[in-house]
Amino acid sequence: MSWGKIKGTAKAPVTQTEQEIENMEAVEAGFAEQLDTDAMIASLKAQRATEAKTMRDIGSTDYYFCVFFNNEMQMVEFCKAFGLNPNNIFMDGREVAKQFRKALSTPDEPRHKTRPASKEYLELAQGLRS
């Protein structure tokens, strides 16, 4: 025995009006326009390429170089001659270029900015606070 054959249990078929069908088709068409997959894929590929270049630049050491001297006195003499701090062993190349009166025409790459650690964090890290 089928449940549909029992009196009063059979469900009436769901019917949609032509207006409801047209509304649904309009909604579907609107979604299709919004989801322009080719443009989305192209945008994602471009963003991925940009991010890959940024990650290569961040991990690259190709923009560092060292200057060596025979002794400390030569290094101090060199730094003083060009207005550099001999106690600062890591110098910003842009600042060194300014001391040599040479402007760098290449723009800076965007970098992630870090903020200084809070006093509370430093105290916790040094074990001064529990």
Neighbours of 86 (CB within 10 A): 13
Tokens of 38: 């080719």
pTM of the shown model? 0.38
Give the whole-angstrom CA distance, residue 125 versus residue 130: 10
Give the whole-angstrom CA distance, residue 12 versus residue 36: 39
E strand residue ranges, the chain? none
- 95 vs 37 pLDDT, higher one: 95
pLDDT 10s digits, 22-52: 777 777 777 766 666 777 788 888 888 888 8
**Nearest in space to 27 (alpha carbons), one of 38, 39, 35, 16:** 35
Handedness of CA 112, 113, 115, 117 (dihedral sign): positive
Which pLDDT value is given to residue 41?
80
**Nearest in space to 104 (alpha carbons), one of 118, 92, 117:** 92
Which pLDDT value is given to residue 83?
86
Q: Where are the domains of the chain?
A: 19-62, 65-107
